[in-house]
Amino acid sequence: MDFKEPKPFPAEIPFLHDLGVEFLGMENGEAAIALNLEKRHMNSWQVTHGGVTMTLLDVVMSMAGRSLDPDARGGVTVEMKTSFLQPCGRAGGRIVAKGRAFHRSTTMCFCDGELWDGDKLVAKAMGTFKYLKRLDVAKKLEHE
């Protein structure tokens, strides 16, 4: 996976926009996003807040799985485990999250993710996601 240049997010997600998350790419079961760290992303120790770390890992894993199914309109996190390996970035730095789908069934996808601060691996995660299909609006309106 060689996603380096920021691109527009494939969907408007206000929370990610507010955080400042950059979409780097998603295809063939892989995805990458990045975040330029600001003071608002820090905890009381002045390192990246764990909630920011988990958000990036959750999103990038879901994106990796969605890249395998063009009909998926979204992924719902069923389960997620995160291991924090070392303190992550300070204000002024940049972190990159990378996700990979490693197994898929009809409605579920199993993924792993890594969060990098430069060349330091700072967190790893595994997650299970249930994918929702795009609704045929015309059919839905017929039944209402």
What CATH number is attached to the domain comprising 32? 3.10.129.10
pLDDT above 90 coverage of the chain, percent: 73
Find the mean pLDDT for residues 109-127.
Answer: 97
Range of the domain at 86: 14-143
State the pLDDT at residue 39: 97
pTM: 0.87
Among the residue ranges 4-8, 51-55, 69-73, 95-99, the one predicted with the least confidence is 4-8
For the chain, the maximum distance between any two Cα atoms, rounded to a whole number of angstroms, is: 55
Number of structural domains in the chain: 1
In a domain, 7, yes or no: no
Mean pLDDT of the chain: 89
Q: What gap in Å lies between CA 114 and CA 97, rounded to an integer?
A: 6
